[in-house]
């Protein structure tokens, strides 16, 4: 990636954000708490979800990537074996393993600040495995650079998914969501 997406503040979801989410994922949001990151086009690309869904079901994935273009590009990285390579490095690089454990602890602390889910893992395979780059990139986008080393690496490998314009149309045009890209 030539230019990483800018860091954005967590914001309350607007009606336009909910519409964008529904268009991105083809369903209404469940447990939506905040927009954790916005694509440079202004639409949500990572949402923060409640650790427990409205029906009481535990949902330990705090940061959920919603942009279909970013998700597709991450799926390509996964198919190319990036997770396997990262997993191998975790086993042989103690500094990387320590940084990844710190990312896990950050994720748990952020989730616990909302609601403690005792006995539930963080997400993405942390702290010992690389299981889902979507979660790791979502964490990197939501928390900012330097928090999740493998999320940051995967993010750097992605194309600039926002360059072709918004991934969905008819909502939040040109930053009308109230919180455009920063």
Query: Rounded CA gap, 13 and 18, in Å?
Result: 7
Q: Locate tokens 């954005």: which residue?
A: 8
Domain definitions of the chain by residue range: 15-175
Q: Which residues contact 8 (CB under 8 A, 6 or more apart)?
A: 35, 37, 38, 179, 181, 182
Specify whether the CB–CB gap between 17 and 176 falls below 8 A: no
For residue 179, the model assigns a pLDDT of 38
Residue 121: phi and psi, rounded to 5, are -70, 170
State pLDDT tens for residues 104-140. Answer: 999 999 999 999 998 888 899 999 999 999 999 999 9
Q: What is the pTM of this model?
A: 0.89
């Amino acid at each position: 990636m030539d230019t990483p997406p800018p860091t954005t503040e967590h914001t309350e979801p607007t009606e336009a954000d909910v519409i964008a989410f529904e268009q991105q994922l083809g369903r209404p949001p469940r447990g939506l708490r905040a927009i954790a990151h916005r694509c440079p086009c202004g639409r949500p690309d990572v949402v923060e979800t409640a650790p427990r869904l409205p029906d009481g079901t535990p949902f330990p994935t705090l940061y959920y990537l919603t942009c279909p273009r970013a998700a597709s590009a991450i799926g390509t990285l996964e198919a190319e074996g990036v997770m396997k390579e990262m997993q191998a490095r975790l086993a042989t690089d103690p500094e990387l393993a320590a940084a990844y454990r710190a990312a896990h602890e950050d994720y748990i602390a952020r989730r616990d600040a909302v609601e403690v889910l005792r006995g539930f893992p963080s997400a993405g395979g942390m702290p010992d495995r690389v299981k889902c780059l979507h979660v790791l990139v979502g964490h990197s986008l939501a928390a900012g650079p330097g928090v999740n080393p493998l999320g940051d690496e995967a993010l750097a490998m992605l194309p600039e998914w926002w360059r072709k314009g918004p991934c969905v149309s008819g909502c939040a045009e040109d930053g009308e969501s109230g919180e455009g890209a920063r």
